[in-house]
Structure 1
Amino acid sequence: MGALPFAAVIFDLDGTLVATDSFWVVAAERGARRAFGELGIERELPTAREWMALVGQPLARGFERLFPELPEVQRERVMARCVEESHAAMRAGGAVEMPGASEVLRELRARGVKLGIASNCAQAYLDSMLRTLQLGELVDEARCLQSPGVANKADMLADLLDTFGTTSAVMVGDRASDGAAARANGLPFVHLASGFAPEDERIECDTRIGALAELLSTLERGLGGLRR
């Protein structure tokens, strides 16, 4: 078990470490029905694919795209009810990790690698995931859109790098926004193809893996000679 060519690995959360599809669609549908009933809205629910397209993106922005016809106050009510139901689902044990997530985190930690999470979620959601799936015991630091001084995922990565005291790092995620945040900080990006990116989303990456189980061997190779 040798050293890796990176001092830190930063992970996206939903679709990378967390199998959000295990609870999000059902919870979002339940929340939307509640809100529609409260507001007297008659509208078809989004499809499962449309709900899943929100995963990994800033939720408020996603709801603007999903419900463009609703006034802001109504859209916020729908989003709030969906979030409430998702937290209820997590408390009921609906959240599960992506295959191999805890194993790869433990292995990286055993090799002395600093581990971070950067997620476009709210603090309450992040805290719940860290607690429910015990990810907080495996990672060193985690950032979200409500972290101090953070406006986007690029800011999260910059803050994590500063906290870790290194630029020798790699970003692992499933969405194009993860890659953009990595590039903004001069980091290589490993795309997890088994995540939740829509089929038509163009994702630029340094390398692509089909499962988290492939990550260690990929990092050991230095991403095809790219070392930071």
Structure 2
Amino acid sequence: MERNESLTKPKAMIFDMDGTLFQTETLLLPAYHKLFDILREEGLHKGETPKEELMLGCLGMLLEDIWKIVLPDGSPEAHRRADELLLQLELEGLKEPDAVLYPGVEETLQELKRRGVRLFVASNGLEHYVKGIADARNIMPLFEELYSAGQHGTASKVDLVALLLKNHGIERAWMVGDRSSDVEAGKKNGQTVIGCQYAGFGNDQELKGSDAIITSFPELLNLYENAVE
């Protein structure tokens, strides 16, 4: 890869979790189908399970917004129960070996940390979910801190990243993620955005505005090596 004069080496990198570090569908889809089986058993949902693509297309959103799309006719009780079940079923699913990180994630993070880059997570997910993935897949020690909308009660990823930057005194960071919410969070906070184009959950315009695009996670190290000081 050629030296990229448009990128400056960051002091920190902030990562989205789903679709960036973690192969979400390996955990989400089994839990998703079990969730709707239980909702039907409990009388909180009638009919078929909504298409998987509908749920996958909502990744990166806050849970309350996800259920408005996936369960638009569901009652507030059904939405609350879906929240509870999804977290419970996903935490159980993390015990299974099939729920995995993307190839090269652990090794790339280890190398970035070795080079002195401060590593963080900023996710719109629930606190126990985000930390549960990092813990179960043994990458928790690589991060300085993991921020989640569930923990901090932020209304958007823009607010969550702003809080992270302020709390840790970070002025120059790369926001690394796969959704438009990641691009927005980076740009509105004056940071460089690296778009991840390997999960396939979004549309063609999802990463518009990114400063660079990677098609596999280890490419991030190449970008870092070729960025200017």
TM-score, normalised relative to structure 1:
0.89
2:226 maps to what in 1? 221
**Which region of structure 1 is more displaced relative to structure 2, 137-146 or 90-99?**
90-99
Equivalent AA in structure 2 for residue 218 of structure 1: L
C-alpha deviation, 1:193, in angstroms? 0.1
CA distance in 1, matches of 2:196, 2:185: 15
In the TM superposition, 1:1-228 aligns within 5 A as 5-39=9-43, 41-148=45-152, 150-204=154-208, 205-222=210-227
The two structures, once aligned, show a CA RMSD in angstroms of: 1.9
Asked whether the equivalents of residues 55 and 66 of structure 2 are also in contact (C-alpha less than 8 Å), the reply is: no
Q: Which runs of 5+ in 2 are unaligned?
A: 1-7
- Tell me, in whole angstroms, the C-alpha distance in 1 between the residues paired with 2:76 and 2:205: 27
1:5-53 CA-partner distances (Å, limit 9, x unpaired): 2100110001111111112111111111111210163211122212212
- The amino acid that maps onto 2:29 is V
Higher relative contact order (CA 8 A, sep 6+): 2
Larger mean CA deviation between 124-133 and 47-56 belongs to 47-56
Decide whether aligned partners of structure 1 residues 166 and 106 sit closer, same or farther in structure 2, where only a CA change above 3 A counts. same
Structure 1 residue 161 displacement after superposition: 1.7
- Please tell me the residue identity of whatever aligns with 1:15: G
Under a length normalisation based on structure 2, what TM-score does the superposition of the two structures give?
Answer: 0.89
Q: CA deviation at 1:159?
A: 2.3
Inter-CA distance 83–54: structure 2 relative to 1 (3 Å threshold): farther
Deviates more, 1:17-26 or 1:198-207: 198-207
Deviations 1:181-219 (A, max 9, x none): 001100111110002432355322111110011111112
How many angstroms apart in 2 are the aligned matches of 1:97 and 1:156?
23
- Residue 151 of structure 2 aligns with an amino acid whose one-letter code is S
- SS of corresponding position for 2:187: helix
| In structure 2, C-alpha distance between the alignment counterparts of 1:208 and 1:136, rounded to whole Å | 25
Higher strand share: 2
